[in-house]
């Protein structure tokens, strides 16, 4: 049984298969009967709930409130913003009818042709259109601004190739939609929320990210500028981990959202939107986990500590359980989530493998000798290191250990990334290096043509124009034309 | 401005219009561009968030975990359970295509006929079918049971007549779906969750409810028994405030979910489902609010205390603000949510009316004389009573006051209900009384025919067969046949 649990493909053999195996075996999610739509299982959902709670607090601290807008969007709304419709019309679920009826042949139910909608509705792929259509009635004066709203919702994009968490037809996310009186304020909001995402990724997910701006080709459909955070997975590929868009007046104009400013003049409202999705659960897995299973940062782990008793008979189990109950109380009093697994139908070895697979950061085990010696065995999941310590002050020890694990996971990911970013000056070298699974810092002439050529020839795209670091100009590695600064290329999820 | 805010229709004039006015003017929700779908505005959503947090904690305390299942359900799934399809096929949104394309005439986008789904998908009206199709793979042995899962989700029922919160095409809810090894355990779960809903309604919403069982005609489509909690609104109509269904083996059989029991025999799994929706926000409003606006129980109020300064000049405002900041800190330290409204572009009178409308339970006001005397004016929203008290120990005073308001709102609703339930023995008297807006306890012969006749003639339905109280048998008021016990009739939302 323990062996079966362990049967993960190794990362070095097939990284993609390893990921798929892990999501299934750790019971995070599975495919559903509906093409491209996943079932998020309780353990996977518990991670998402932790993410939600933390992000929601961060949004509220930065002045945002939650609201809810309709799932369905009139088809014509999509067409109002020219770029937006190009980006989203090609992969959306369309509602055309509102009733089924019994089939004449008794074989089940069929669509009732009499119940055809006058205008088709699409399931939101993102909510700019329905929200800006609503904002028109909420905004008259600069006194009504800013509007700082976030929504937790499901959205749907009819992706052809799907992967659990990373790319699914339906996914869960939050989408912020703000309206402002000035361009400057909207840009500030856009950058502020990119900062919130970066802080969430680094402090809670223990995942280092690069803050940057997207090239025009990679921008959100309808945005003037897309700010992104980009993370490196263990195969050296990039994962876009949260984007914040400055939408200019594009949606204000498309939905005629005007306001009277302080000087009494009418202007269109300025917009931002920003989103982060269940994709982050996939990023979390791919960033830290290993061939034994999940490695979860303590701040997002549904169970932070598991305690397993090792006993010869029920009498000894009772003694261990009594001792452990005191430890459980102390840990809980520190706000640590802890599970005592005294299930009698599974062996300790099976449990050890199970919790390693599930990525529980700290495992405590107590046997007969520990009981005699007032000791306990402590295993940290990130390093798979064991030691036996005294039970006195165990709660403080575990608290420190959890903190250390959180830091260590971040450092490890940071170290990995540091050794997998290279600067390259020639396209020849670029083509070699990109095969090694790295981020490449290279000069670009700023044109979509060059970008497209590189993508077609190497499958690498510009992940972002970094906001920090080396800003020196140079010459484009492909065309030799002027380049403002190095940009980051990578293959990506 | 204050006058305009106050322009609510009076309950006595037109209760239904009063409700509609209040939802709009208190900025809880509004209709959207999509027929029957509402926008839940930040203040309304904040109430729902409070409800969610409390319920979620209650579900977890009773051993449940959250998960997420797909929004879309294959059409054929609906037909698997005979009653279920009858109940839900007639009012569902149907997805038939997965792509739009540019119209040939350049007028926008049209459905791409080439992107027709092989099998239509419906937007979940409830998730029993997709969830039980999933459970089939999760359940093999009694060791896999029980499964105790809850989902927070949006659902859609294509209602023809909609009203904000009370009946909308799309609504938000939670739906619990549990699987058990025995009928008895499933029934216990069903009743336990009815109990959780009743406790939530009474302790947090301050809304007394009657626990009962639905008659066959009013049962959930696919249930063996539907347990309900029924609340009385201020017009004497009933509102079903949460239902918990014992589904027997209906879905186990429909989706072939079998397990090996302790004796090694195969059996179908037993099911329950239970749900509570944004409808509860409507119930909350209709149960307590008055002609001045919302009356919110402190435990669900987004803002529990508002403080308004009354000042002659900016210097005095600065003095008041300094004094108030100490009070704000003390209140926050007690876990009380408090807002200090020192906005300079609105008069105190306008603010008073605004917060009355919004149902903030406690309003504090401080003027120049209060500053001199170390006093503050306290107004409680439920009774609209004012008094001036010393600032010393204000935080404990407010804490007690919030508790008293919570109790008082409940008592008031309980008292109202007590005077609006009547026992009736003849159908003549029934027809008179029902016009007065009351709940009627009357005998019923247990047949759907009698129920249907009463409904057709009086618009009253059996809200429930109460689980507590008078259980004496009698004779049906319509047919004179045997009746096991009195049931509750009312007109309903």
Nearest to B32 among A91, A120, A134 (CB): A134
Give the whole-number percent of chain A exceeding pLDDT 90: 94
What is the nearest CA distance from A266 to chain B, expressed in angstroms?
Answer: 21
Q: Specify the pLDDT at position B160.
A: 84
The band of B1, judged by pLDDT with boundaries at 50, 70 and 90, is very low
Say which residue the tokens 């055809």 belong to.
A116
Residues of A in contact with B101 (CB under 8 A): 89-90
* Domains of chain A, CATH where assigned: 11-88+124-288 (3.30.930.10), 303-407 (3.40.50.800), 421-490 (3.30.110.30)
Cβ(B488)–Cβ(B466) under 8 Å? Answer: yes
Reported pTM:
0.97
Q: Do A89 and B109 touch (CB under 8 A)?
A: yes
Give the Cβ contact number of residue A327 at 10 Å: 20
Q: A39 contacts in B (CB within 8 Å)?
A: 67-70, 134
Residues 19-58 of A with CB under 8 A from B: 30, 32-34, 37-42, 45-46, 48-49
Interchain contact A60–B (C-beta under 8 A):
no
Hey, are the CB atoms on A42 and B109 less than 8 Å from each other?
no
Rounded distance between C-alpha atoms, residue B256 and residue B249, angstroms: 10
The model's pLDDT over B382-439, given as tens digits with 9 standing for 90+, comes to 999 999 999 999 999 999 999 999 999 999 999 999 999 999 999 999 999 999 999 9
The count of residues in chain B is 493
pLDDT in tens, A146-187: 999 999 999 999 988 999 999 999 999 999 999 999 999 999
Chain B nearest-CA residue for A123: B95
Closest-CA residue to A27 (of A318, A357, A462, A488)? A357
CB contact under 8 A, A78 and B109: yes
Any A CB within 8 A of B474 CB: no
Interface size A-B, in CB pairs within 8 Å, comes to 194
What number is the average pLDDT over the span B211-217? Answer: 97
Bridge-based pairing state of the strands B258-260 and B486-490:
unpaired
Indicate which of B94, B156, B343 best probes the interface with A, i.e. most A CBs within 10 Å of its own CB.
B94
Q: How many residues does chain A have?
A: 493
> Which A positions 87-126 lie with beta carbon below 8 A of chain B?
89-102, 108-109, 111, 120-123
| Residues 6+ away with beta carbon under 8 Å from A12 | none
**Residues of chain A found within 8 Å of residue B46, distances taken between Cβ atoms:** 65-66
Cβ B149–A42 below 8 Å, yes or no?
yes
pLDDT exceeds cutoff 90 at B6: no
**Nearest-by-CA chain A residue for B107:** A79
Distance of alpha carbon B306 from alpha carbon B324, whole angstroms: 11
pLDDT at A4: 52
* pLDDT for A2: 41
Alpha-carbon gap, residue B99 to B277, rounded angstroms = 32
Do the Cβ atoms of A32 and B70 come within 8 Å? Answer: yes
Confidence at residue A106, expressed as pLDDT on a 0 to 100 scale: 84
Give the whole-angstrom CA distance, residue B182 versus residue B236: 40
Cβ B246 vs Cβ B227: under 8 Å: yes
Mean pLDDT, chain A, rounded, equals 96
A134–B33 CB contact, under 8 Å: yes
Chain A environment of B79 (Cβ under 8 Å): 108-109
Extract the tokens encoding A187: 């840009």
Lowest pLDDT segment from A82-86, B211-215, B466-470: A82-86
Structure confidence by residue, pLDDT tens digits, B364-374: 999 999 999 99
Residues of A in contact with B72 (CB under 8 A): 34, 37, 93, 170
- Contact at CB, B68 and A78, closer than 8 angstroms: no
Which of B34, B120, B134 lies closest to A74 in CB terms? B34
Contact between B98 and A158 using a beta-carbon 8 Å cutoff: yes
Of B65, B90, B120, the CB nearest to A42: B65
Interchain CB distance below 8 Å, B345 and A143? yes
Question: Radius of gyration of chain B from Cα atoms?
Answer: 26
Q: Which chain A residues have a beta carbon less than 8 Å from that of B65?
A: 42, 45-46
Q: What is the pLDDT of residue A82?
A: 85
Residue closest to A52 by CA, chosen among A165, A156, A174: A174
Chain A nearest C-alpha distance from B54 (Å): 14
Chain A residue with minimum CA distance to B48: A67
Mutate to test the interface with A, among B40, B41, B109 (most CBs of A within 10 A): B109
Give the HSE-up count for residue A274: Cα atoms under 13 Å, Cβ half-sphere.
Answer: 31
Choose the mutation target among B1, B28, B36, B39 for the interface with A, i.e. most A CBs under 10 Å: B39
Q: What pLDDT shows up at residue B4?
A: 52
Report the pLDDT value the prediction gives residue A160, as an integer from 0 to 100. 84
- Signed CA dihedral, B166, B167, B169, B175: sign only: positive
Is residue A467 classed as helix, strand or coil in its secondary structure?
coil
Per-residue pLDDT of A210-236, as tens digits, reads 999 999 999 999 999 999 999 999 999
On the question of a cis peptide bond just before residue B146, with omega within 30 degrees of 0, the verdict is yes
The DSSP call for residue B219 is S
What is the nearest CA distance from B116 to chain A, expressed in angstroms? 10
Those of residues 162-201 in A touching chain B at CB distance below 8 A are 170, 172
Flag whether residue A142 sits within 8 Å of chain B, measured between CB atoms. Answer: no
Q: Could you say which of A65, A77, A98 has the minimum Cβ distance to residue B46?
A: A65
Q: What one-character-per-residue DSSP string does B437-465 give?
A: --EEEEE--S-HHHHHHHHHHHS-EEEEE
Residues 246-265 of B with CB under 8 A from A: none
- Checking if the pLDDT of A1 tops 50, the result is no
A155 touches chain B (CB under 8 A): no
What number is the ipTM of this complex? 0.96
Residue A94: band (very low, low, confident or very high) from pLDDT cuts 50, 70, 90: very high
Interatomic CA distance for residues A361 and A401, integer angstroms: 9
Nearest to B40 among A67, A72, A73 (CB): A67
Rounded to a whole number of angstroms, the CA Rg of chain A reads: 26
């Amino acid at each position: 049984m323990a062996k079966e649990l362990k049967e993960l493909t190794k990362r070095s053999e097939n990284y993609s298969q390893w990921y798929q195996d892990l999501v299934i075996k750790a019971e995070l999610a599975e495919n559903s009967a509906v093409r491209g739509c996943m079932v998020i299982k309780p353990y996977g959902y518990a991670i998402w709930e932790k993410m939600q709670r933390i992000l929601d607090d961060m949004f509220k601290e930065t002045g945002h409130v939650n609201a809810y807008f309709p799932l369905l969007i009139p088809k014509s709304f999509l067409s109002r913003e020219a770029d937006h419709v190009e980006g989203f019309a090609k992969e959306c679920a369309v509602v055309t009818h509102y009733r089924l009826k019994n089939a004449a042949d008794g074989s089940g139910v069929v669509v009732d042709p009499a119940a055809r909608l006058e205008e088709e509705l699409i399931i939101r792929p993102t909510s700019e259109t329905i929200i800006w259509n609503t904002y028109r009635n909420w905004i008259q004066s600069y006194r009504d601004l800013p509007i700082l709203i976030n929504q937790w919702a499901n959205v749907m994009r009819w992706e052809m190739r799907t992967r659990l968490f990373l790319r699914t037809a339906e996914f869960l996310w939050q989408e912020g939609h703000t309206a402002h009186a000035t361009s400057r304020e909207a840009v500030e909001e856009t950058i502020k929320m990119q900062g919130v995402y970066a802080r969430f990724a680094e402090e809670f997910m223990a995942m280092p990210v690069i803050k940057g701006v997207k090239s025009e080709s990679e921008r959100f459909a309808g945005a003037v500028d897309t700010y992104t955070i980009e993370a490196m997975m263990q195969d050296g590929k990039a994962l876009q981990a949260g984007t914040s868009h400055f939408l200019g007046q594009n949606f204000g104009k498309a939905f005629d959202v005007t306001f009277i400013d302080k000087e009494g003049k009418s202007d269109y409202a300025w917009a931002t939107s920003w989103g982060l999705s269940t994709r982050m659960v996939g990023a979390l897995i791919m960033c830290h986990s290993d061939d034994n299973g999940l490695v979860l940062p303590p701040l997002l782990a549904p169970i932070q500590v598991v305690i397993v008793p090792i006993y010869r008979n029920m009498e000894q189990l009772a003694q261990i359980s009594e001792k452990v109950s005191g430890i459980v109380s102390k840990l809980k009093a520190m706000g640590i989530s802890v599970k005592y697994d005294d299930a009698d139908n599974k062996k300790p070895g099976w449990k050890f493998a199970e919790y390693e697979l599930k990525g529980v950061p700290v495992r405590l085990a107590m046997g007969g000798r520990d009981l005699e010696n007032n000791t306990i065995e402590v295993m940290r999941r990130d390093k798979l290191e064991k030691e036996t310590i005294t039970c006195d002050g165990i709660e403080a020890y575990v608290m420190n250990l959890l903190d250390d694990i959180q830091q260590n996971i971040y450092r490890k990911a940071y170290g990995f990334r540091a050794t997998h970013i290279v600067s390259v000056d020639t396209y020849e070298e670029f083509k070699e290096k990109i095969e090694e699974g790295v981020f490449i810092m290279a000069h670009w002439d700023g044109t979509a043509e060059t970008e497209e050529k590189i993508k077609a020839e190497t499958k690498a795209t510009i992940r972002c124009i970094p906001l920090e670091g080396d800003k020196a100009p140079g010459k484009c590695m492909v065309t030799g034309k002027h380049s403002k600064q190095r940009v980051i290329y990578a293959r990506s999820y």
